[in-house]
Amino acid sequence: MFANGWDTHDDVPIQLTADGADLSDARMVNSMRLVLAISALLASITDPRSFPDSGDRVWLLFAAYVAHSLILCVLALLKRPLAQSKWMHWLDVAWYTAFVALTGDSLSLLFLFFFFAILSSSFRWGFEEGARVTAAATGLFIATACLVDAKADWPHLLLRSSFLLALGYISAHWGESKVVLNRQLALLRDVSQLSNPRFGVDHTMTRVLDKTRLFFGAKSCVLVLRDKEIGACQVRSIQAGRSKQSVHAEAISAKTAEPLLTLPAHQLVIYQRPPWPNWLRSRISLKPSENIGEQLTDFLDGDGFFSAPVSLRNSEGRIYVVTEKHASSKADARFLSHIVAQAFPVIENIELVDRMASEAASQERQKIALDIHDRAVQPYIGLTLGLSAVRNKAGPDNPLRDDIDKLSSIARQAIDDLRHYAGTFRRNKGQSNTQEPIYTATLKKQTAQVKALYGVDIAVDVEANLQINDRMMAEVLQIVREGLSNICRHTLAQFGALRLQRSAGWLHIQIENAGACAPLPPFSPRSITERVASLGGLVSVQSDADGFTSVQIQIPV
């Protein structure tokens, strides 16, 4: 921890993977508790002289603890949440306190049972929980021994209490390391799985920054990148407490980005503002490196930060994790570099695939536009020329002259329409001059076709700015198309509604149809469910006694 300066360290990227161990840990802890309980029961039965003042109460208490442990072991095998609860090790502390109280001897070795509760809490829940259990176990051991043994051996009692406290603290510290490592491995696995090409680069980068900020409990996470060729800069910022985060990068000038790019390249950087008052800090002469750290801390509006370099094929920059009210460590900065090494190459591959798909789609549009011109427009041009020649041969008194003029006008209008369609098709979607989003126009066109063919009137309610890329929107349009088709083919409804909105990182799609005075049996739209599941989303169906049905879809975006 660096209280009043900064530190640099070379970046050594590592890739780690691991499976979650919560369930296996719960089974192991409950199994060992059962083994420990059975061992204590057998010891009390085979050697009753070890508890001369307790009589039959000891083995009865141990038998009850065996039953308690057996129930928890069965619950763990059945994957019940109760077996993984934090209350379990506190129940163990209560049991072990009863053991010490029942023996009535401050020198009893039963105080060693407390270590089981300390170890299980520390290695499953971390330092804070382990430290609380250690303090409670030590205090209860001393209090119980003093209450039940009027002639307590204080030197031995204090020695055992100190041993319990010291070893418990060490166990809690080591347990925290294990918990942190599991969280780190889970985050590295998570940022790799976030990289769904359908979501696009902007969405994936935003999710990675948000996951990183949440992991470190930071105030904000900032990514600044500079193009290696043209020098254009852009920044992404995820702030704590902001309800709606923008998924798009913000272009900034090179002068604005310069403070964030002045740190040494290929090095990790940590800075924590000294805990001195502002008036005192302004009077102290700082080193040049500390001046830079102080300026960046003010620029990022925090109490400190740690940063790692980011190097991509076409750009380079830095990622900053801005902290508040707590210092950072070298371990935090190193792990940030592991996140960068794990997530950003995948993001770069997504960007490459996305660009290749866009270029392929653009080439295909060009080809289709040329085919439309050659195979559709040219025959119409030939038709207009032929009609003009026929009209010239017809005399002024020819009765077909007006009909020929009408056919020529229709052919020319068809040529104009085809040329306009080919030109629109050749352009990218982002180049459209219409003020209405392309997906809204497409949905309205679909519902208009449904009304024309099936007589079902579908009301459309779509949020103005969903901020979804083309590939995701193509999936959404297909889901909506299947939902409207289900209404037309499987119901007698004449009215329906389609709603799309985005909130809290989820796209909500609601497809409703009015009832036909008859309840519907429970069902699940198979094709829609499979398509939504491939996007990591959820589908639920609600219906009432009148046959009103609502298919509610949620997709993470």
Q: Is 10 a domain residue?
A: no
Cα 507 to Cα 417: distance, rounded to the nearest angstrom: 36
| Cα 514 from chain centre | 36
Structure tokens at 105: 């001897």
| pLDDT of res. 224 | 92
Q: How many angstroms separate the first and last alpha carbons of the chain?
A: 37
Q: What is the CA radius of gyration of the chain?
A: 35
| pLDDT of res. 319 | 92
Q: Is 304 a domain residue?
A: yes
* In a shared domain, residues 227 and 239: yes
* In a shared domain, residues 102 and 130: yes
Residues contacting residue 313 through CB under 8 Å, at least 6 positions apart: 348
Q: Is 15 a domain residue?
A: no
Q: Is 1 a domain residue?
A: no
Quote the strand ranges of 312-381, DSSP E. Answer: 315-323
Domain region containing 541: 438-556
* In a shared domain, residues 163 and 200: no
User: Which of 167, 189, 211 represents a domain boundary (last residue)?
Assistant: 189
User: Which of 431, 454, 472 represents a domain boundary (last residue)?
Assistant: 431
**What DSSP designation does 233 have?**
E
Cα 299 to Cα 301: distance, rounded to the nearest angstrom: 6
Cα 511 to Cα 351: distance, rounded to the nearest angstrom: 32
Q: If we measure between CA atoms, which residue out of 219, 268, 225, 266 comes closest to residue 242?
A: 219
* Burial of residue 266, with CB atoms counted within 10 A of its CB: 0-12 exposed, 13-18 middle, 19 or more buried: exposed
* In a shared domain, residues 341 and 288: yes
SS3 state of residue 312: coil
In the numeric block, the tokens 């319990």 are attached to 164
* In a shared domain, residues 250 and 350: yes
Domain count, the chain: 4
Give the DSSP letter string of 278-306.
HHHHTTSPPPHHHHHHHHHHHHHTSSEEE
* In a shared domain, residues 360 and 395: yes
* In a shared domain, residues 516 and 463: yes
Q: Is 470 a domain residue?
A: yes
* In a shared domain, residues 201 and 311: yes
| pLDDT of res. 5 | 40
* In a shared domain, residues 400 and 458: no
* Domain CATH number, residue 522: 3.30.565.10
* In a shared domain, residues 157 and 241: no
* Domain CATH number, residue 225: 3.30.450.40
* In a shared domain, residues 303 and 402: no
Cα dist from 372 to 202, 250, 420, 421, whole Å: 34, 39, 11, 9
Cα dist from 11 to 311, 333, 486, whole Å: 12, 9, 55
- CA torsion 352-206-193-311 (nearest 10°) is 50
* Burial of residue 457, with CB atoms counted within 10 A of its CB: 0-12 exposed, 13-18 middle, 19 or more buried: middle
Cα 234 to Cα 256: distance, rounded to the nearest angstrom: 10
Structure tokens at 419: 């040329």
Q: Is 5 a domain residue?
A: no
pTM over 0.75: no
User: Which of 408, 431, 454 represents a domain boundary (last residue)?
Assistant: 431
Q: How many helices (H) and strands (E) does the chain have?
A: 16, 12
| pLDDT of res. 402 | 77
pLDDT in tens, the chain (557 residues): 333 344 444 433 333 333 334 667 778 888 888 998 888 888 778 776 666 555 567 778 888 999 998 998 888 888 887 777 888 889 999 998 888 887 766 667 778 888 899 998 888 888 888 899 999 999 888 888 888 766 667 788 888 888 889 999 998 889 888 888 888 888 887 777 655 556 667 777 888 888 888 888 888 899 999 988 888 899 988 888 776 666 678 888 888 888 888 888 888 888 887 765 554 445 444 455 557 877 888 888 888 888 999 988 888 899 999 988 777 778 888 889 888 888 887 777 776 666 666 666 666 667 776 666 666 677 777 777 777 777 777 777 777 777 777 777 777 777 776 666 666 655 544 444 445 566 777 788 888 888 877 888 888 888 877 777 666 777 888 888 888 888 888 778 888 899 998 877 788 899 988 876 566 667 778 888 888 887 778 888 888 777 788 899 988 77
Q: If we measure between CA atoms, which residue out of 327, 17, 318, 9 comes closest to residue 184?
A: 17
Instruction: Summarize pLDDT for 498-527 with one digit per residue, the tens.
Output: 999 887 778 889 998 887 656 666 777 888
Give me the sign of the Cα torsion angle 18, 22, 23, 24.
positive
| pLDDT of res. 53 | 59
In the numeric block, the tokens 């070379």 are attached to 10
SS3 state of residue 14: coil
* In a shared domain, residues 137 and 57: yes
Question: Phi-psi category of 217—alpha, beta or left, where left has phi over 0 and alpha has psi -120 to 50?
Answer: left
In the numeric block, the tokens 């190459």 are attached to 345
Give the pairing type, strands 6-10 and 267-272. antiparallel
Q: Is 11 a domain residue?
A: no
Question: Phi-psi category of 241—alpha, beta or left, where left has phi over 0 and alpha has psi -120 to 50?
Answer: left
Q: Is 6 a domain residue?
A: no
- CB atoms under 10 Å from CB of 37, counted, come to 24
